[in-house]
Amino acid sequence: MFRGSAVRQRLGMPTRCLLLVTAAGLGGLLGLAKRLEPDPRGFGTHTQLGLKPCGFARVTGRLCPTCGMTTAFAWFVRGRVDRSWRANPAGFLLALLTVPLIAWLVSSAVANEPVGFHSLAGPLLGLLAGAVVLSLAFWLIRLIVSPGGLVGPWTNSAAAARSAGR
C-alpha cells in the first residue's frame, strides 16, 4: 500500500518573501479598514477608496456576493461584529480569519515550511474555495430572505422600466 511522504514542502526564499509580503498586505488591509468610515447602509464603503458603486447592484437593484465586504471589514476592526455580520457574513468570517492567517503566513515563512501542512497548495486553495463558497452561499440566502428588496438610494432604471410596462 502506497503512503504519501510525511516530509513537508521546504519553501524557497522567493516563496518565503511572498508569504511575508502577503502577511504585510493583509495587515495593511486591516489598517485601511480602520481608516474607512463604515457606510450605514451596510455596503458602499469601498467608494471612499475612489471605486465606483457596484455595477451589479446598479443594474439589478440587488446586492452582489461581495457587496458589504469592505463595510464588514470596517465594522470588524472597530469591534462591531454584529454590524460586520449584517454587512456581509462572508466578509465578517474573512475578517475574522485575517489575523490567524497573518500569523500562519509569518510562522510558515520563519519555519521554512507550511506550518501544520505538507504543502502550501492545500490550505491556500482551501481558503480561496471557502471564500468563494461562503460568499455565494450567503448571497443566495440574501436573495431568498429578501427577494424583492432594492438595495440602494439610486433608481433602478431597468426594474422601473419593467414595472412600468416599457
Q: Does 149 have pLDDT greater than 90?
A: no
**Inter-residue contact 84 to 75 (CB < 8 Å):** yes
Question: d(Cα 29, Cα 102) in Å, to the nearest integer?
Answer: 11
**Inter-residue contact 54 to 74 (CB < 8 Å):** no
Per-residue pLDDT, averaged over 147-156, amounts to: 49
Least confident of 63-77, 89-103, 112-126, 144-158: 144-158
Closest C-alpha to 102, from 13, 27, 40:
27
Per-residue pLDDT, averaged over 97-107, amounts to: 95
Q: What is the pTM of this model?
A: 0.78
pLDDT at 36: 96
Q: What is the pLDDT of residues 41-66, one digit of tens each?
A: 889 999 999 999 989 888 888 888 88
Bin 150: left if φ > 0, else alpha if -120 < ψ < 50, else beta. Answer: beta
Q: What cell was used for 115? A: 506550518
Q: Does 163 have pLDDT greater than 60?
A: no
Q: What is the pLDDT of residues 66-101, one digit of tens each?
A: 889 999 999 999 999 999 999 999 999 999 999 999
* Domain ranges (residues) in the chain: 13-158
Question: d(Cα 132, Cα 126) in Å, to the nearest integer?
Answer: 10
Residue 18 has, within 13 A of its CA and on its CB side, a CA count of 7
C-alpha of 149 from chain center: 23
